[in-house]
């Protein structure tokens, strides 16, 4: 007992044995295909597991590291911890000294990382100029309290000119004295002054009082010029940054706010997208998530024809689904199909089934009827077909031993009608009534009824009958032989049946005769009538001008090579590509043998050989030899390291060099 061939390949899917598949064993056989695919998957998994065990394959995930590693931190901080992946690791981080002594400082220096690198005490220059309003406590109430000692006393102010006294304005707001020096008002200042603006804006202008002054202010740049859908402003209302809106910038809006425009289908919930059909008319029905599409895709009921296709999904988009398809602008043909999901992924769709009334008799057959089948067991509505007269002959309850079509109409279990039409036009029908099948009734057709051979009942009369006697004899009576004066007495009445004195029949001929055949064939036999004889006919093949000699007569039953080979069981002619590198394929069994030669291969070298053609199913084995005349070759050092359906990798470990002759076989 042989084992299934195994190669480390991971098939993308497992073959499903169909009800129509024949039972074929052996490598590559349909019955072994699932086992071969699973065995190849197991071999592939073993290679992966072995690689994980030996470390030649890096694992995507692991419970722990094979070697404990140390995680270390250096630079601005130090710390370390042992880590093998089996548990979380905690590192105690110690910052490096920044150069400052530990202590309390009113002023510090920090680096770019925010670490304090120096400390000192505040000096006067560290205190910014403060507005008087910032000093809210401890303020003095007298000039002396501010350290002013040279101020005039209030008593030194007078309302009339007095030497060494400060003159006050009187109650009329006038200084009652002559004042020299600067005038109270003037057309122009003695010295022109410059007014400057700085900070958030810059500008300057000269003013001497002789005329109005205008200052051109230029705001300082705070942002790159441009158009922004979102801006940042400071406390003075100036834009300091700009960017584009993001999703979080848009507040939640009530549907009433949308007063114009139209949502694209892609923006609608998926379960209502199909309320308006706007998908491309090439949308694939096998993958669509849109509930209603108009498509002429090849995966529709008729490739290239437009159908409205409604998809009904259960539980989720990739869940179980069913589809109904209606022909576009045609005769309302309707088809249905279904699909079951596999692991939350779409599975394989069933075939389209026509279900409209107009196509009830145009749908595809339910199945082909096999050998030795009982038609009494077909009780459901539908139609089946039989392709072999022999199968019909060996079956049960056929009306005739001929291939044909069976149509079944089921009303209830008590009324089931069957109609059988043979391949050459004969028609039969029957009914199962109250559990019992009635006999088959044959319908009259031009095959079994010719109206010209019959007359209607209304046309029948005695006068219309030909060959009738003019008169009828009386009742039974006898005649003397002397009364028979004419006619010939038949054998049944004791006569010879003729008037020449010879018997019409005898047990044998008086003289044996030779029956001979000549011309296109030759044969002869002696015959005296005492028994049946066989005539051994020999056909002269040179005289056969037309027709085909059947198998039963030693011929091939065909006038062309392909049909003749099929009739005599010779199969299909093998195909081959003959050359230094080539292949040979048996088209009956699918067996393939390939060969070739490579360039020179030296010691400790490997080479990958690509086969002239890929093996469709499996590779059974391979072999190779190196041509190195006069040198000893150790077979243990010549190996195949990898073998697939498309190539093999070889390794040469001997101290030889030369071309490699290889062969591989499979199907």
**Euclidean distance between CA atoms 307 and 181, whole angstroms:** 108
> Contact 242/232 with Cβ under 8 angstroms?
yes
* pLDDT value at residue 441: 96
Bridge-based pairing state of the strands 647-652 and 660-666:
unpaired
| Strand 592-597 versus strand 605-610 pairing type | unpaired
Rounded Cα distance, 590 and 28, in Å: 9
Query: What is the spatial distance between Cα 343 and Cα 320, in angstroms, rounded to a whole number?
Result: 11
Residue 110 backbone dihedrals phi, psi, to 5 degrees: -120, 155
Reported as type and span, the H/E element at residue 207 is strand 201-207
CB atoms within 10 A of CB 60: 6
Q: Which option is the CATH number for 575-666: 3.40.50.300, 2.60.40.3940, 3.30.70.1520, 3.90.79.10? A: 2.60.40.3940
Instruction: Give the containing element (helix H, strand E) for 324.
Output: strand 321-327
Distance CA 162, CA 166 (A): 8
Q: Which residues of 413-423 are buried (b: 16+ CB within 10 A; e: fewer)?
A: eeebebbbbbe
183 pLDDT more than 80:
no
Inter-residue contact 509 to 529 (CB < 8 Å): yes
Region of 138 on the Ramachandran plot (φ > 0 left; ψ -120 to 50 alpha; else beta): left
Segment 269-277 shows an average pLDDT of 56
The alpha carbon torsion through 661, 664, 665, 667 (nearest 10 deg) reads -130
Q: Is the Cβ–Cβ distance between 641 and 649 less than 8 Å? A: yes
The mean predicted confidence, pLDDT, of the chain is: 82
All residues at 6 or more sequence positions from 31 whose CB lies less than 8 Å from its CB, including other chains: 17, 23, 24, 25
Q: Please report which confidence band the pLDDT of residue 254 belongs to, taking 50, 70 and 90 as the band edges.
A: confident
Q: What is the pLDDT of residues 548-571, one digit of tens each?
A: 878 877 778 888 877 888 888 777
On whether the CB atoms of residues 597 and 662 are closer than 8 A, the answer is yes
Interior angle at CA 185, CA 180 and CA 187, nearest 5: 115
Burial 316-340 (b: 16+ CB within 10 A, else e): eebeebebbbebbeeeebbbebebe
pLDDT at 500: 60
Of residues 620 and 446, which shows the higher confidence score?
620
pLDDT value of residue 151 = 75
Enter the pTM of the model.
Answer: 0.25
94-95: strand order across its sheet: 69-73, 77-83, 94-95
pLDDT tens, position by position, 483-512: 777 777 776 666 666 666 555 566 677 788
| Conformational region of residue 547, where left means phi above 0, alpha means psi within -120 to 50, and beta covers everything else | left
d(CA 189, CA 122) in angstroms, rounded, equals 44
pLDDT score of 583: 95
Of residues 643 and 457, more confidence is placed in: 643
In the Cβ-directed half-sphere of 129, how many Cα atoms lie within 13 Å?
A: 0
Decide if 500 contacts 507 (C-beta within 8 A): no
Half-sphere exposure of 322 (CA within 13 A, CB side): 5
Work out the average pLDDT over 201-221.
87
**pLDDT exceeds 90 at position 138:** no
Q: How many CA atoms lie within 13 A of 328 on its CB side?
A: 18
pLDDT at 182 over 70: no
Type and span of the H or E element at 596:
strand 592-597
Q: How confident is the model at residue 331 (pLDDT cuts 50, 70, 90)?
A: low
Kindly state the helix (H) or strand (E) to which residue 597 belongs, with its residue range. Answer: strand 592-597
Phi, psi of 96 (to 5 degrees): -70, 150
Task: Using alpha carbons, select from 590, 593, 663, 581 the residue that is nearest to residue 622.
Answer: 663
DSSP one-letter code for 457: G
> pLDDT digits over 633-649, tens only?
445 578 888 999 999 99
Among 25-39, 140-154, 479-493, 575-589, top mean pLDDT goes to: 575-589
Sign of the alpha-carbon dihedral angle for 636, 642, 644, 648: negative
- By the 8 A CB rule, do 279 and 263 touch? no
pLDDT (average), residues 283-293: 88
- What distance in Å separates the CA atoms of residue 658 and residue 625, rounded to the nearest whole number? 10
**CA angle, corner 453, sides to 447 and 455, nearest 5?**
125
- The residues that bridge with 575 in the sheet, in sequence order, are 585
Residue 232's φ and ψ, nearest 5 degrees, are: -110, 135
Report the number of secondary-structure helices (H) and strands (E) in the chain.
Answer: 3, 35
Question: Positive or negative CA dihedral for 634, 635, 639, 644?
Answer: positive
Which of the residue ranges 149-163, 389-403, 463-477, 575-589 would you say has the lowest mean pLDDT? 463-477
d(CA 521, CA 258) in angstroms, rounded, equals: 100
pLDDT of residue 472: 62
User: pLDDT per residue over 384-395, tens digit each?
Assistant: 999 999 999 999
Mean pLDDT, range 591-603, rounded to an integer: 91
Query: At 172, is the pLDDT very low, low, confident or very high (cuts 50, 70, 90)?
Result: confident
Could you tell me whether strands 307-313 and 292-295 are parallel, antiparallel, or unpaired per DSSP bridges?
Answer: antiparallel
In this structure, what DSSP letter does residue 654 have? S
Q: What is the pLDDT of residue 178?
A: 63
> In 3D, which of 491, 492, 539 has the Cα closest to residue 519?
539
Query: Domain segments of the chain: what residues?
Result: 1-52, 269-359, 367-451, 575-666
pLDDT at residue 77 is higher than 70: yes
C-alpha 584/C-alpha 592 separation (Å) is 6
Cα 559 from Cα 159, distance rounded (Å): 153
How many CB atoms are located within 10 Å of the residue 308 CB?
Answer: 15
Q: What is the CA 150 to chain-centroid distance, rounded?
A: 103
Which pLDDT value is given to residue 398?
A: 97
């Amino acid at each position: 007992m042989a084992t299934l061939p195994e190669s480390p390949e991971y098939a993308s899917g497992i073959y499903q044995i169909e009800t129509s598949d024949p039972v074929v064993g052996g490598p590559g056989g349909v019955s072994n295909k699932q086992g071969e695919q699973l065995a190849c998957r197991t071999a592939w998994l073993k290679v992966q597991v072995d690689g994980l065990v030996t470390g030649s394959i890096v694992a995507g995930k692991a419970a722990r590291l094979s070697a404990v590693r140390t995680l270390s931190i250096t630079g601005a901080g130090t710390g370390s911890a042992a880590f093998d992946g089996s548990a979380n690791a905690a590192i105690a981080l110690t910052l490096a000294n920044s150069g400052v002594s530990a202590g309390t400082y009113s002023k510090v220096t920090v680096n770019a990382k925010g670490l304090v690198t120096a400390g000192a005490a505040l000096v006067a220059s560290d205190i910014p100029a403060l507005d008087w309003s910032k000093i809210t406590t401890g303020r003095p109430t007298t000039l002396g309290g501010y350290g002013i000692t040279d101020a005039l006393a209030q008593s030194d102010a007078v309302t009339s000119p007095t030497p060494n006294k400060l003159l006050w304005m009187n109650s009329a707001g006038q200084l009652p004295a002559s004042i020299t020096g600067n005038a109270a008002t003037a057309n122009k200042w003695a010295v022109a002054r410059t007014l400057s603006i700085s900070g958030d804006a810059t500008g300057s202008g000269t003013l001497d009082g002789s005329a109005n002054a205008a200052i051109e202010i230029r705001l300082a740049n705070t942002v790159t010029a441009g158009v922004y859908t979102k801006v940042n402003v400071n406390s003075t209302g100036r834009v300091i940054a700009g960017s584009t809106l993001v999703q979080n910038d848009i507040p939640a809006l009530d549907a009433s706010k949308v007063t114009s425009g139209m949502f694209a289908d892609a923006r609608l919930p998926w379960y209502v997208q199909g309320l308006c059909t706007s998908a491309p008319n090439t949308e694939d029905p096998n993958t669509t998530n849109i509930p209603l599409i108009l498509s002429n895709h090849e995966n529709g009921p008729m490739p290239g024809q437009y159908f409205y296709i409604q998809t009904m999904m259960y539980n989720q988009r990739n869940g179980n689904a069913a589809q109904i398809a209606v022909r576009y602008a045609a005769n309302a043909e309707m088809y249905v199909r279904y699909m079951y999901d596999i692991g939350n992924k779409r599975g394989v769709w069933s075939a389209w089934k026509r279900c409209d009334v107009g196509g009830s008799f145009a749908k595809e057959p339910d199945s082909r009827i096999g050998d030795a089948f009982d038609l009494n067991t077909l009780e459901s509505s539908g139609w089946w077909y039989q392709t072999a007269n022999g199968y019909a002959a060996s079956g049960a309850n056929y009306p005739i031993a001929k291939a044909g079509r069976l149509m079944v109409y089921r009303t209830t279990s008590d009324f089931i009608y069957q109609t059988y039409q043979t391949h050459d036009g004969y028609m039969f029908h029957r009914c199962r009534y109250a559990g019992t099948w009635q006999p088959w009734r044959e319908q009259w057709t031009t095959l079994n009824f010719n109206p010209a051979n019959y007359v209607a009942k209304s046309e029948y009369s005695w006068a219309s009958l030909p060959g009738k006697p003019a008169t009828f004899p009386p009742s039974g009576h006898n005649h003397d032989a002397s009364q028979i004066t004419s006619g010939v007495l038949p054998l049944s009445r004791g006569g010879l049946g003729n008037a020449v004195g010879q018997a019409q029949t005898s047990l044998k001929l008086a003289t044996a005769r030779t029956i001979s055949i000549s011309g296109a064939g030759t044969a002869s036999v002696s015959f005296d009538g005492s028994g049946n004889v066989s005539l051994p006919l020999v056909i002269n093949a040179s005289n056969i001008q037309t027709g085909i000699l059947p198998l039963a007569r030693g011929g091939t039953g065909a006038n062309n090579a392909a049909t003749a080979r099929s009739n005599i069981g010779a199969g299909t002619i093998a195909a081959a590509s003959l050359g230094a590198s080539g292949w040979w394929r048996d088209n009956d069994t699918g067996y393939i043998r390939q060969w070739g030669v490579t360039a020179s291969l030296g010691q400790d070298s490997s080479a990958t050989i690509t086969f002239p053609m890929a093996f469709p199913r499996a590779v059974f084995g391979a072999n190779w030899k190196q041509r190195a005349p006069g040198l000893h070759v150790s077979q243990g050092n010549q190996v195949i390291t990898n073998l697939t359906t498309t190539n093999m990798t070889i390794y040469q470990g001997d101290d030889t060099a030369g071309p490699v002759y290889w062969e591989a076989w499979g199907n």
